[in-house]
Amino acid sequence: MRLFLVRHGETDYNRQGLALGRADVPLNEQGRRQASLLAQALAGEPVRAVYSSPLRRCLDTAQEIARRHGLPVEPLPAVIEMDIGEAEGLTYAQVRERFPDLLQRWLGPDPTAATMPGGEGLVAVQERAWQAILALAERHLQDTVVVVTHNFVILSILTRALGMPLSSFRRLRHEVGAISLLEIDGETMTLVRLNDTCHLHLREGNL
C-alpha cells in the first residue's frame, strides 16, 4: 500500500497559535486554498480511497482531494486529533499559567508521560491511529490511499513506522497542508516523502 498522510489545511486556530485538538473549527481562506493545491498535487496519483478524520477541517480538505478522483470521503474516527481537553483554544502562555505541571512534563525528556487535562496522551493517540493504519494496509494491499488527518496523529504514525521512540516525535515536523508518503509492504515500511509542502508554493493550475 502507498499511504499518503495529509495534514489538513490551515485554520484560524493554527494561524493564531492556539492549542487545537478536537474543536471543530473550519478551514480559513488560506486553508481552503491549501486544500485545492493538495488536490491538484495528488490528482495524478492512482488513488483508490480517501479517508479522513471526522473533523470538518479534515473532511473539507479530503473532499477536495476525493473530488478529483470521483471518490467518496470515508470518515475514519481513529485518526481524529488528540483530545487536549481543557487546553483547547488556549495560547501557550495560558497553558503555562493554568497547567504548569503539564507543560513541564510535555516539554521534558518523555512527553509521552503527559496526559492532557481532561483529555488523552500521545500513547493512546498512537495506538488507535496505528491500528487503523494496519487495518487499511490489510484492506488495500496494492492500493494508493489518502488519509487526511492531524499533526499529532501523523507524527505518532511516522515514529512508529520508522521504529523511533514516540518520545522523539519532535524530531519530525509536519506543516498544515503538507504531504508524507509511506510505502507499506507487509512489515516493511519505507518513508518516501516527509512534510512535502512544495505544492503549497505554486499557483493553482501550475503544477
Catalytic residues, by residue number, are 8, 150
The DSSP line for 29-55 is HHHHHHHHHHHHHHTTS-EEEEEE-SS
Starting at the edge strand that comes first in sequence, how are the strands of the sheet with 2-7 ordered? 73-75, 47-52, 144-149, 2-7, 179-185, 188-196
Asked whether the beta carbons of 103 and 95 are under 8 A apart, the reply is: yes
- b/e string for 56-67 if b means 16 or more Cβ within 10 A? bbbbbbbbbbbe
Cα-based angle 76, 23, 144 (whole degrees, multiple of 5): 25
Closest to 182 measured CA to CA, from 193, 173, 174, 169: 193
